[in-house]
Structure formats: structure tokens, C-alpha cells
Amino acid sequence: MDREGNHRARRIDRPHSHPGGLRMTGTSVRLFCLPYAGASAGVYLPWCERLQPHIAVTPLELPGRGSRMREEPRRRLEPLLHDLVPTVARLCDRPFALYGHGFGAVLAYEIAARLEWDHELVAERLYVSGYPAPHLPPREEPIGHLPDEEFLARAGHHPRIHPGTFGEAGLARLQLPVLRADFALAESYEEGLDNTVHAPVTALAGQDDLTVRGADLGGWRDYTRRSFRARRLPGGHFHWHADERPLLNVFVDDLIRCNAAHNRFPVAERTF
């Protein structure tokens, strides 16, 4: 790839130089979105219209769901990153950010780290939502090893699984391979604290989200070499399903207005 500044995403000199001061161009920001356990990328589709034209929402579909239903779900991190990172790198045609909710937050962080190391691309911001910093001990007991019936019963009441996953008769069993893969992925994950990123990090959670405490959010501070911010938004673990406006306004404040200052293109005042 071009190293003379013509590429629109910011670059870093590998492995650990500071990206500040690199010139950015382009007229919008791309926001890659990673789903939570049991979900498909379709949960983010409504944002595409809400945030256009200045934020290009790009939901990332994981194998085994949505448009990739026929593929085998990944149960380990490395094969999943091998699948996702090159795709994301090809789409970094402008300044970009990453957002992930639940274990999707960890995936977003790992993708950000691999983009920096393997492709010399640094995100404008990394949003990690509704999940403790990876080096902290899990608050929930592992369930991925349980027999199918017991696993489904426990997953049906799991605080990180959206209730809609089990909303129709038989749907839970259809989701079983994906759910098992997602829990295997999360429960086998080993944190990579050595891979701190150059992207600023914003850690998010609902004010009533009992799965994420203050220290859980604050722990994400150790995963960035740049600025860190923790924010609580109204609602519970799936706060943006009830009201997406507070979260979308975070993106507007950070990405549209910040990028306008860098690139000097006009942006209308916009709130939701």
C-alpha cells in the first residue's frame, strides 16, 4: 500500500510510533460494527441510514449468521481474525473507527491491534461497549461445556444474550451452533495486553448494566497509548435497543465534528 500519505486512513510507522500529526483526507468516517453473542450484523443496519452521509456504518458479519449463514461459526479467535482483518483492511479507504458490543468489544479491540501491526492502519477511535476489560476475571460462570439442553436453559437467562434471541419457538435450537461458538470464543479468549493500540478508546455501558462495573470499564484504559474515556448511557446492557439516540450522538460528537475539524468539510449540526 502507498506509504506517502495518499491512503485516506491514518497510518503508523510499525511497530510503536505515535500516529499524531499524520494528515487525514476524505469526506466521511467509516464505522465498523461488531455484534454481540448470538447476534448478526443486521442489528446495526438501522444505523446506516441514521448516520449517513458523514458516517458510513459498516456492520461486520461473522461466519454462521446472517449473510454468512452457510459458513461454519468460528470457535477460536485466530481463525476469526484471519477471516475478518483482511476484509476490514481492504475497506479502510477513509478515516475509520471500530465499535463492538459485548464480546464484540474484544473483537473490535483485537481487529484494531491487528490493523496497526499488520497493515499500519490506526483507527480514529475504538469503542468498546458493554464488556469488562479483557484482563479482568469474568463475572459469569462458563457455560460452553454444558450439554445442549442445559446450555440453552442457561443461555436463555444470560445477561449478555438479548431476549429476542429466544423470542420464537424453535429459534433457540436453530441458534445453538452460533451460540456455542460465541461462548467457546469468549471463554477461551486470552487477553492481549501487550497489544495496546494507538487509537483513542471510549468504553461504554448502560447506567443500569449490572454486567459491567466502573472498574470493568476503567480497565480498558490499559489498552490504549492515547486518550481514554469511560461513559455511561441511559439504560441497561442493551441500552441502545431501547433508545439508540444517546449512543448515536456519541458517534456524531466524536467522529463527524472531529473529522470536520481535521478535513475542513462542512457538517450540519446534527443530534438525534
The answer to whether 94 and 30 have CB atoms below 8 angstroms apart is yes
How much is the pLDDT for 256?
A: 81
Helix/strand/coil for 263: helix
Strand order through the sheet with 201-206: 55-59, 29-34, 96-101, 125-129, 201-206, 228-233
For the chain, the C-alpha Rg in angstroms (whole number) is 18
How much is the pLDDT for 52?
A: 86
Residue 163 inside a domain? The answer is no
The answer to whether 109 and 128 have CB atoms below 8 angstroms apart is yes
Residue 61 inside a domain? The answer is yes
- β-partners of residue 56 are 30
* Residue of 100, 116, 62, 59 whose CA lies nearest to 84: 62
DSSP code of 225? S
> What is the separation, in whole angstroms, between the first and last Cα of the chain?
38
Helix/strand/coil for 241: helix
Helix/strand/coil for 41: helix
The answer to whether 31 and 251 have CB atoms below 8 angstroms apart is yes
Pairing of strands 125-129, 96-101: parallel
Residue 181 inside a domain? The answer is no
Residue 168 inside a domain? The answer is no
* Cβ neighbours, 10 Å, residue 261: 10
**Which CATH number belongs to the domain containing residue 49 in this structure?**
3.40.50.1820
The answer to whether 66 and 178 have CB atoms below 8 angstroms apart is no
The rounded distance, in Å, linking the Cα atoms of 150 and 11 is 47
The answer to whether 113 and 123 have CB atoms below 8 angstroms apart is no
The rounded distance, in Å, linking the Cα atoms of 123 and 213 is 26
Residue 34 inside a domain? The answer is yes
**Domain of 135?**
29-139+191-263
Residue 157 inside a domain? The answer is no
Residue 270 inside a domain? The answer is no
Residue 2 inside a domain? The answer is no
The answer to whether 166 and 137 have CB atoms below 8 angstroms apart is no
The rounded distance, in Å, linking the Cα atoms of 203 and 216 is 9
How much is the pLDDT for 265?
A: 41
Based on the structure, what is the number of domains in the chain? 1
**pLDDT tens sequence for the chain (272 residues):** 333 333 356 654 333 222 322 233 344 899 999 999 988 999 999 999 999 888 999 999 999 988 998 999 999 999 999 999 999 999 999 999 999 999 999 999 999 999 999 999 999 999 999 999 999 987 788 988 899 989 888 888 888 888 777 665 566 678 889 999 999 999 999 876 567 999 999 999 999 998 898 899 999 999 999 999 999 999 999 998 889 999 999 999 999 866 655 554 444 445 56
The answer to whether 270 and 260 have CB atoms below 8 angstroms apart is no
The rounded distance, in Å, linking the Cα atoms of 52 and 118 is 29
